[in-house]
Amino acid sequence: MEREYGPSQGAEMMRGLVEAAKEMQLSELALTNQDAALLESMGVETPAKVPGGMKCARCGVPFRDGIYFLILRDGRTVCEGSCTPGLVR
């Protein structure tokens, strides 16, 4: 489903994001779970959600196939990057 955006500054940003998403699909750059959620809300095809409806305990976005997430010692699951500031591996 392709969307058309008007001539506003926000629309220009959205066009840029959609174009970047299409380029990422072509070059297979790594997406985060938050990236995938945003792109899906804009109508861009993203990796499938993992079975069972697993979501990040901090930001609430669903996890996707092929995108890393972490299981913390207390059993919570969180996104690998932005939801784990200062985490030491």
Strands of 1-89 (E only): list them: 69-71, 77-79
Which residue is listed with tokens 């790594």? Answer: 30
The whole-number pLDDT of residue 48 equals 92
Examine residue 1 and state whether it is found in any structural domain, yes or no.
Answer: no
pLDDT at residue 89, as a whole number? 55
Does the reported pTM lie above 0.75?
A: no
Q: Are 34 and 55 in contact (CB under 8 A)?
A: no
3 in a domain, yes or no?
A: no
- Give per-10-residue mean pLDDT for the chain (89 aa): 62 77 63 89 90 92 91 89 68
Domain enclosing residue 54, as ranges: 9-79
What integer pLDDT is reported at residue 59 of this predicted model?
Answer: 92
Q: How far apart are CA 81 and CA 15, in angstroms?
A: 25
Total number of domains constituting the chain: 1
